[in-house]
Amino acid sequence: MSLPTRTLGGAAPAGPLTVSAIGFGGMSVTDAYGPADEREATDTLRAALDAGVTLFDTADVYGHGRNEELLGRVLGPHRDHVVIASKLGLPPAGGHPDGRPVDGRPAYVRRAIDASLGRLGTDRLDLYYLHRVDPQVPVEDTVGALAELVAAGKVLHVGLSEASAETVRRAHAVHPVTAVQSEYSLWTRDPEDEVLPALTELGIGFVPFSPLGRGILTGTVDLTEGFAADDVRRSHARYRGEDFAHNRALVARLEEVAAGRGVTTAQLALAWVLAQGEHVVPIPGTKRTAYLEQNVAAALVDLSADEVESVGALWPRSEVRGQRHPQMELLGG
Mean pLDDT confidence for 60-79: 94
**pLDDT bracket for residue 330 (50, 70, 90):** very low
Predicted pLDDT of residue 150 = 98
- Listed range (22-26, 91-95, 132-136, 282-286) with the worst mean pLDDT: 91-95
C-alpha separations of 58 from 30, 111, 144 in Å: 10, 17, 22
258 DSSP 8-state letter: H
Strand partners, 280: 206
Q: 5-214+272-302: which CATH topology?
A: TIM Barrel (3.20.20)
**pLDDT bracket for residue 95 (50, 70, 90):** low
pLDDT, averaged across the chain: 88
pLDDT in tens, 73-87: 999 999 999 999 999
Q: Which of 62, 108, 128, 129 is catalytic?
A: 62
> Among the residues of 175-222, which ranges form H helices?
195-202
CA-based nearest residue to 161, from 238, 49, 62: 62
pLDDT reading at 224 higher than 80 = no
**The pTM of the whole model exceeds 0.85:** yes
Please say if 62 is a catalytic residue: yes
State the DSSP string of 30-98: GTTTS---HHHHHHHHHHHHHHT--EEE--TTGGGGHHHHHHHHHHGGGGGGSEEEEEE-S--TT--TT
Mean pLDDT confidence for 28-51: 83
Predicted pLDDT of residue 10 = 85
The three-state secondary structure class of 169 is helix
Per the CB < 8 A criterion, the answer to whether 135 and 101 are in contact is no
Q: Indicate the angle between helix axes 106-120 and 66-75, nearest 10 degrees.
A: 50
Mean pLDDT confidence for 137-164: 98
* Strongest mean pLDDT among 219-233, 234-248, 277-291: 277-291
**pLDDT bracket for residue 12 (50, 70, 90):** confident
pLDDT reading at 235 higher than 60 = no
CA–CA separation, 239 and 280 (whole Å)? 26
